[in-house]
Chains A and B, each alone.
Chain A
């Protein structure tokens, strides 16, 4: 296993959440959107994963907007990646 792969696996486990909605949104983003991020954005994504499920669900359903602009940008990117 190379280091990037290990780090991706670690993130994959961080994307395992307590709610179905979050599992789907975060894992689809990891699969389809994450590789296009700049280094700085990757760090922001990791920071996002540190928030509790109840906060993530409000942001990702578009009911609230994060005060932190960088986090808000990632939230928007995840919402755009959610495919039908």
Chain B
């Protein structure tokens, strides 16, 4: 079969902030760029980022990039690579000014300079007083960035393939990535996009877990494509939880609700945080509150028929105060639960928010894998940026305001490196029909007919298994059970069939391939979590409660082929300043 082919200099998979920032840089440098996105670009998950972008502009309070770097290293629980972190923090002000010039309407101070918010984990003078480092466009920063970058890309003549699903990377015998096999969702037509360079920018994988704050599109497609191309995933055990998402639905109820006097109760009506954190109680840090809720639920003290959540109470507070200080939270709970927080408690549970792990890259966005020469050999022409990548600037735990910064800085860095690569590699490498058609099998598999497992059913089970066996509460025994349950689901995927075999807008087939992606990333996550026998950042092992720098100050790498784990050292040497050695992380 002769597949239709289109040729570009660069293929970018994913049209969130990272992909679009890279595309813009490349199109402005006259590269021919194709952006493939399974949804319309401005519906990418970047649109949901409300907080802002960290940059040491010192507009509100004194600040400098070195303090930002310290906070990021400390926040990462020392697992972040310090060369990449230094690079990001130094590049941050420029990243913000560039956005300003592109047209992002940042909130301003009286004197016209960009306003900066105070966020958790920000300090002055290496752990001193609170800093104000987060630049925001009201409460819709992600939306403003995404729309601005999209408009700029249209102007720069970036070629968009909207509502195209990337099925797999095309790899030749020597290991070069030559582009991707993609399908137009509207027609079911497939084609090959050949490219001299490919950037994966597909975002995170929050949909792995039953309760998450992520959009439905976050199914880890790029991570799974990398795994199938023989690339390992790094630090996948590090998944950030927020303690108070609406149970079973995922929308966040921010710390503000507890800050105003709200508290959590179990099914006995007990204010249980008093037992876990006698001083800070309900305002203890996110990971402490998340673990306490998970412990109550596992202990059978959850609320509701499924005993799968706890309640957030505000009904003891003055209802005028709630209306005045927490209007958005009250609106959201009213809309989704038809409950008024003024007189009824809301069901909440720890909720998956962000994936720190991903495709291993260096600070130029190049994908790096262990080869003969060392742990970080670059794969020529292949790049990754944003939440799907692990560069690693977030290490074990991401700070608020650093995710938008990550996509902007490393989207741009990857593009700059690609421009250099394209100058030296002027021609496409040849792609044989055989190489092109290999990935067809993945699609053809869904032509299988007859009775079989349902995709919806398996997806629900996967979310439940990941939440119950790879959630906040992790022990050797629980994770071991988790591995065997996920493996069982992976086996059952072989028996899954679709009822709809049409080509036009066959969303069931796309959802089936998304589930395959989720399954691959689920194994990576649960096996990585089982293997790391310490507690660090967001990875909390009840059986190994302490951080163990002697044995575990290293990155994990999960390989799909034999479901094995390998390790590589953390890059503790920054580019120009002294390293920040590991210290106990207290706030």
Binding site for B on A (CB under 8 A): 1, 5-6, 9-10, 12-13, 16-25, 27, 52-54, 60-63, 79, 82, 84
Contacts and interface: CB of A to CB of B under 8 A. Distances in A.
Contact of A23 (B216, B328, B335, B505): B216
| Shortest 6 CB-CB contacts between residues of A and residues of B | A18-B47, A1-B502, A9-B505, A54-B143, A19-B48, A84-B337
A10 B184 CA distance: 12
Nearest to A2: B502
A23 B339 CA distance: 20
Nearest to A10: B505
A24 B143 contact: no
A62 B339 CA distance: 14
B47 A82 contact: no
Contacts of B337: 84
B336 A84 contact: yes
B338 A84 contact: yes
B505 A13 contact: yes
Nearest to A11: B505
Contact of B39 (A16, A60, A63, A79): A16
B43 A53 contact: yes
A5 B328 CA distance: 37
Contacts of B44: 18
B331 A63 contact: yes
A20 B504 contact: no
Contacts of B47: 17-19, 53-54
Q: What is the interface residue range for chain B against chain A?
A: 35 or more
A18 B339 contact: no
Contact of B215 (A9, A12, A19, A79): A19
Nearest to B500: A1
Nearest to B213: A20
B251 A21 contact: yes
A46 B459 CA distance: 28
Given A1-B504, A13-B39, A19-B215, A61 B48 contact: no
A20 B48 contact: yes
A25 to B, nearest CB: 8
Interface string B314-345: 00000000000000100110111111000000
Interface string B431-471: 00000000000000000000000000000000000000000
Nearest to A80: B338
A54 to B, nearest CB: 4
B186 interface: yes
